[in-house]
Amino acid sequence: MGAKSKSNVKYYNVTSGQLKRKVGEKEFEYYQGYEGLFVGLKLVEKTFNNKPNKQFQLTVKDPDSDEVAIIQWGAKSWFTPTFFQRFGGLNLTQPFYMGISGGGDESRTSFCWMKQGNKKIEKNPDFPLPVKEKDGDEVQYKYGEVLKAAEKLMEQANKSVSENKAVESHKDQKEDEGW
């Protein structure tokens, strides 16, 4: 779980109910959330312990500076449905606060909550949750429907942002031309 910094980009991992950012060889900073403007969201394939591991990467920009944050988490984690249950309720042209909370005493589980301005973003009760399957004594969660719904919201959000950027660019061009 390494966080890297490139110029004004900071990398964060969602883990154990917190945002974790590597700041030195073995030094980390921890945060309970991040406020920013939506820039983009993608699902990337990584490798962890020689196994494929999909992760979501949310890119946000600090509304008061040039700082850009990339926040990542495992696609097959409880953070995914709790993030996307609320993500669809955001106005993506406005800053929002994404908070992270833990699942209890020794739990490594992370949950998401959001607010925009003074308004708490309520979860969409229709967003699918992982399906619990028991195989003998072992319990596994299947994320198929969660990931399908998440990818659909992700595509809509990215398309919306790129359309907004095109409109803003066109407005700027008209202003530059004296319209």
DSSP 3-state of 163:
helix
Is the pLDDT at 125 greater than 90? The verdict is yes
Inter-residue contact 154 to 42 (CB < 8 Å)? yes
Cα–Cα distance, 35 to 53 (Å, whole number): 27
Instruction: Give the CA diameter of the chain.
Output: 72
β-bridge pairing 33-48 and 51-61: antiparallel
Q: Where are the domains of the chain?
A: 9-176
Is the pLDDT at 116 greater than 70? The verdict is yes
- pLDDT-above-70 percentage for the chain: 85
pLDDT (average), residues 44-68: 90
How far is C-alpha 41 from the chain's CA centre? 7
The predicted-structure confidence for 14-23, as pLDDT tens digits, reads as follows: 998 899 999 8
Where does the pLDDT of residue 114 fall: very low under 50, low under 70, confident under 90, or very high at 90 and above?
very high
Q: Rounded to the nearest 10 degrees, how much is the dihedral formed by the CA atoms of 47, 49, 55, 59?
A: -80
DSSP 75-122: TTSTHHHHHHHHHTTS-TTS-EEEEEEE-SSS---EEEEEEETTEEPP
DSSP 3-state of 1:
coil
Is the pLDDT at 179 greater than 90? The verdict is no
pLDDT (average), residues 76-93: 95
Cα–Cα distance, 97 to 33 (Å, whole number): 7
Angle between helices 144-176 and 79-87 (to 10 degrees): 40
